Structure 1
Amino acid sequence: MKALQGVEGRVEWLEQQVPACDVGEVRIRVAAAGLNRADLLQRAGLYPPPPGASATLGLECAGIISEVGAGCDWKVGDRVCALLAGGGMAEEVVVDARHVLPIPEGVSLHEAAALPEVYATAWLNLFQLAALKPGEKVLLHAGASGVGSAAIQLCKAFGNPCWVSVGSAERLAYCESLGAQGGVLRDDDLQALRDFAPFDVILDPVGGHYAALNLALLGLDGRWINIGLMGGRQAELDMGVLLSKRVQLIGSTLRNRDDQFKADLLRDLQQQVWPLFAEGRLKPQLQQRFAVEDAEAAFAALASNQVDGKLVLVIDDSLS
């Protein structure tokens, strides 16, 4: 089979050995794979896959099950999407059957390829780790991103007013169309977020130079979930403010979580979140599809930080 590999800062569609399908696993014929910032980092050699994970790019995909290992409830022909530690940008992928979800009602395979990573990330961090309660206020940095787009819709669905920081007026309008109350442009004055503070929860993929502001914006017993370092890894904090506000600062990653953790997370996602797609309360935010042969263009588009929602690579256009 062919698979997309990161090679010295570029991507190549290369032949690779077909993985075996073992007990408790399923093989998926991949229709499309979602593109995430982790793929950019891995292509650049900055984010190697966890031990034992595929070196092929791709943390999520959608397709049709073509083989079922012993002990699985799935059937050949089932239309599914999957959360992966790697391997999604390939003609086939073998995955723990517990990390597979049915395609939500009314969602295409291409759209579904853009769901598992961002909804698992948003659900884990806002509703499990931050234990968000109805009515609590949320700030989402990079609100127009894939995770931000999912988080805005979840906040709206579960009764949490949210605000965003974004890069342009057009992206702010996009976030507001999904349900955000408002926000600010990062190239203007982020201090204007104080007009909407205090926040109960901040979801932050930036880190670095946003740290002091996050601390100032949080209210008593606020939860600050850091999921990325786009703004650097060094910060100076007033620990007295952290202490007096009883702020919880939580560093969070998903890719290197163990298999049981991911299985539990996806089971919760299927029960609590997936029905909202059929109800029309959540919608995939797929901005653009790229053929896998145009993968470099897709990576460049994501790196531009101008994407509203998600991008996917179409692996097999005959599957739809």
Structure 2
Amino acid sequence: MKALQGVEGRVEWAEHPTPTCDVGEIRIRVAAAGLNRADLLQRAGLYPPPPGTTEVLGLECAGVVSEVGAGCDWQIGDRVCALLGGGGMAEEVVVDARHALPIPDGVTMHEAAVLPEVYATAWLNLFQLAGLKPGQKVLLHAGASGVGSAAIQLCKAFGSPVWVSVGSSDRLAYCESLGAQGGVLRGEEQLQALHDFAPFDVILDPVGGSYAALNLNLLALDGRWVNIGLLGGRKAEIDLALLLGKRIHLIGSTLRTRDGLFKAQLLQDVRQHVWPLFAEGRLRPQLQRSFAVKDAELAFAELAGNGVNGKLVLVIDPTLA
């Protein structure tokens, strides 16, 4: 089969060994794969896959089941999307059957390819780890990102008002169209304006170091600060007296390196609580643009430009659309 790999800071669509399908696994003929910032980092050699995971890029995909291992409930021909440790940007991928989800009613194959990673991430961090409850206030940094777009919609669906920080006025308008109450643009002075909306019960932060002191000041008593990225650096100085005094819960969270059972239980929860909302029209995939796999470099460049609202997708097999 052919697959996309990161080679010295670029991507290459080339022959790769076809994986075998074992007990508890399914093989998916891939229609499309979602792009994530982790793919950019892996391409640059900064985020290697977990041990035992393929070096093929791609943390999520959608397609058609073409082989079913023993002990699986899926059927050949089922239309699915899947959360992956890697391997989605290939003609075929073999995945733990528990990590696949049915494509929601009313969602296209290409749209489904950009759902698993961001909705699993948003659900895990906001609702499972931070314990978000209806009426509690949320701040999302990088609100127009894929995770941010999913998180805004989930907050709205479950009754939590949400504000954002973003990079431009157009991106702020985009977030408000999804249900955000408002927000600010990046920049030291603009970020201070978040105090007008504070205190927040939960902050979901992919920035890290440079936002640490700000987050601590913006959080309410018993607030939860969930850090999921290091775009603003890995080190920070914080006032521990303020953290203690406010009884802040500081939570570091990653998803890719979680074990198979954890991911299976997370996706079961997502299937039960989140997936029905697509059929009801309360959630919408935020697919900004699709690229043919031959144009993968263009897709990666667009994602790296930090101007994407929502998600981008690579079309692997256009006959499966």
Question: TM tier, shorter chain?
Answer: over 0.9
* Counterpart residue type for residue 299 of structure 1: F
The residue aligned with 2:306 is: 305
The residue aligned with 1:71 is: 71
Most deviating of 183-192 and 58-67: 183-192
Q: Please give the residue correspondences for 1:271-290 in structure 2 after superposition, counting only pairs within 5 Å.
A: 271-290=272-291
Alpha-carbon deviation of 1:20? 0.4
User: Aligned partners of 1:90 and 1:13: how far apart in 2?
Assistant: 9
**Partner SS state of residue 189, structure 1:** helix
Alpha-carbon deviation of 1:112? 0.2
**Partner SS state of residue 318, structure 1:** helix
**Partner SS state of residue 164, structure 1:** strand
Alpha-carbon deviation of 1:16? 0.5
* Counterpart residue type for residue 48 of structure 1: P
Alpha-carbon deviation of 1:133? 0.6
* Counterpart residue type for residue 51 of structure 2: P
Q: Deviations over 1:29-85 (max 9, x none)?
A: 000000000000000000000011111000000000000000000000000000000
Aligned pairs, how many?
Answer: 320
User: Aligned partners of 2:79 and 2:320: how far apart in 1?
Assistant: 10
Alpha-carbon deviation of 1:176? 0.2
User: Aligned partners of 2:196 and 2:53: how far apart in 1?
Assistant: 45
% of aligned pairs identical? 80
User: Aligned partners of 1:189 and 1:58: how far apart in 2?
Assistant: 35
Alpha-carbon deviation of 1:300? 0.4
Q: Please give the residue correspondences for 1:1-320 in structure 2 after superposition, counting only pairs within 5 Å.
A: 1-187=1-187, 189-320=190-321
User: Aligned partners of 1:98 and 1:46: how far apart in 2?
Assistant: 29
Let me know the Cα RMSD of the aligned residues: 0.4
User: Aligned partners of 1:229 and 1:184: how far apart in 2?
Assistant: 20
User: Aligned partners of 1:94 and 1:291: how far apart in 2?
Assistant: 22
User: Aligned partners of 2:190 and 2:37: how far apart in 1?
Assistant: 25
Alpha-carbon deviation of 1:290? 0.3
User: Aligned partners of 1:314 and 1:54: how far apart in 2?
Assistant: 20
User: Aligned partners of 2:236 and 2:193: how far apart in 1?
Assistant: 21
User: Aligned partners of 1:13 and 1:195: how far apart in 2?
Assistant: 49
After TM superposition, the score normalised by the length of structure 2 is: 0.99
User: Aligned partners of 2:315 and 2:65: how far apart in 1?
Assistant: 17
Q: Deviations over 1:136-160 (max 9, x none)?
A: 0000000000000000000000000
Alpha-carbon deviation of 1:121? 0.1
Alpha-carbon deviation of 1:14? 1.0
Alpha-carbon deviation of 1:131? 0.4
**Partner SS state of residue 282, structure 1:** coil
Alpha-carbon deviation of 1:189? 1.6
* Counterpart residue type for residue 57 of structure 2: L
User: Aligned partners of 2:38 and 2:103: how far apart in 1?
Assistant: 23
User: Aligned partners of 1:209 and 1:80: how far apart in 2?
Assistant: 39
* Counterpart residue type for residue 18 of structure 1: T
**Partner SS state of residue 54, structure 2:** coil
Q: Deviations over 1:113-142 (max 9, x none)?
A: 000000000000000000001100000000
User: Aligned partners of 1:278 and 1:28: how far apart in 2?
Assistant: 23
Alpha-carbon deviation of 1:308? 0.1
List alignment gaps of at least 5 residues for structure 2.
Answer: none
* Counterpart residue type for residue 220 of structure 2: G
User: Aligned partners of 1:17 and 1:170: how far apart in 2?
Assistant: 43
* Counterpart residue type for residue 301 of structure 2: A
List alignment gaps of at least 5 residues for structure 1.
Answer: none
* Counterpart residue type for residue 218 of structure 1: L
User: Aligned partners of 2:190 and 2:148: how far apart in 1?
Assistant: 20
User: Aligned partners of 2:267 and 2:190: how far apart in 1?
Assistant: 38
